């Protein structure tokens, strides 16, 4: 059974989300503020967190930064803030995904399951061959095929693809992708990223203008969906 730490100060939202998560087979711990959340998380390290950003004794951002010094449990943000800049800030701080309030409970459960699956996958020794749609990525031999045909990728395109498939379902910000794929100091070169994602789409997507796997998160970054 997966354990989820639910951090939310509004009692009716907390109850509603807890019941839904329990109905989905999760064990739920609760906290109503930053300090309580840190206490509960260290007493019962959760498999993931569902975190409201506006808390009475502090900002959820502080909690993310503090937690990320010792835990890599996925964090799904519930936020009343819908500004792109706010979303980028929490994702850059180490959150994995976000939902803007008001949200649908089916969407919350789907995102939660995706993050828990990713975490469960990470506990296994990672397989060198990764498959999605008709694409096969053999990371031990650096060979990518589509429907059995070899696909030629440049080293940057290949690194970008490997970074995407290492983080399925996760929203990756422009800054994170530039840092991981191009290296530190490339944080402002957003146009490189657009160009290379465009090339990957042409090589891997059935319809590059309506991608099914390399999705754009407008103003924020990209999300890889297997
Ligand atoms: Ca709140």
Query: pLDDT (tens digit, 9 = 90+) per residue, 164-189?
Result: 998 888 899 998 898 888 877 665 67
Read off the DSSP letter of residue 185: T
**Per-residue pLDDT at 169:** 84
Task: Report CA(29)–ligand 1 centroid distance (Å).
Answer: 17
**What domains are defined for the chain?**
3-120 (3.40.50.2300), 129-224 (1.10.10.10)
79 Ramachandran zone, left/alpha/beta (phi>0; psi -120 to 50) = beta
DSSP 47: S
Flag whether the pTM goes above 0.85.
no
Cis peptide before 111 (omega within 30 of 0): no
DSSP 196: H
41 CA → ligand 1 middle, Å: 18
**How many separate helices (H) and strands (E) can be counted in the chain?**
8, 14
Closest CA to 53 of 43, 63, 44: 63
Higher pLDDT among residues 139 and 57, named by residue: 57
Q: Rounding to the nearest 10 degrees, give the CA dihedral for residues 144, 192, 198, 220.
A: 110
pLDDT for the residue numbered 200: 97
């Amino acid at each position: 059974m997966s354990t989820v730490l639910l951090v939310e100060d509004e009692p009716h939202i907390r109850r509603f989300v807890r019941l839904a998560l329990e109905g989905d087979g999760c064990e739920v711990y609760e906290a109503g503020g930053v300090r309580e959340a840190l206490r509960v998380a260290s007493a019962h390290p959760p498999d993931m967190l569902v975190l409201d950003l506006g808390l009475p004794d502090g900002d959820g951002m502080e909690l993310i930064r503090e937690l990320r010094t010792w835990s890599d449990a996925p964090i799904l943000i519930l936020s009343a803030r819908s500004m792109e800049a706010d979303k980028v800030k929490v994702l850059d701080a180490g959150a994995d995904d976000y939902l803007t309030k008001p949200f649908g409970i089916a969407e919350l459960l789907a995102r939660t399951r995706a993050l828990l699956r990713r975490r469960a996958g990470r506990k296994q020794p990672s397989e060198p061959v990764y498959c999605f749609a008709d694409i096969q990525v053999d990371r031990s031999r650096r060979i990518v095929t589509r429907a059995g045909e070899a696909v030629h990728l440049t080293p940057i395109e290949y690194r970008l693809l490997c970074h995407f498939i290492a983080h399925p379902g996760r929203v990756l910000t422009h800054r994170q992708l530039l840092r991981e794929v191009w290296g530190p100091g490339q944080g402002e070169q957003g146009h490189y990223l657009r160009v290379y994602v465009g090339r990957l789409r042409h090589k891997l997507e059935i319809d590059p203008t309506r991608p099914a796997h390399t999705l754009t998160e407008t103003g924020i970054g990209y999300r890889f969906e297997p």
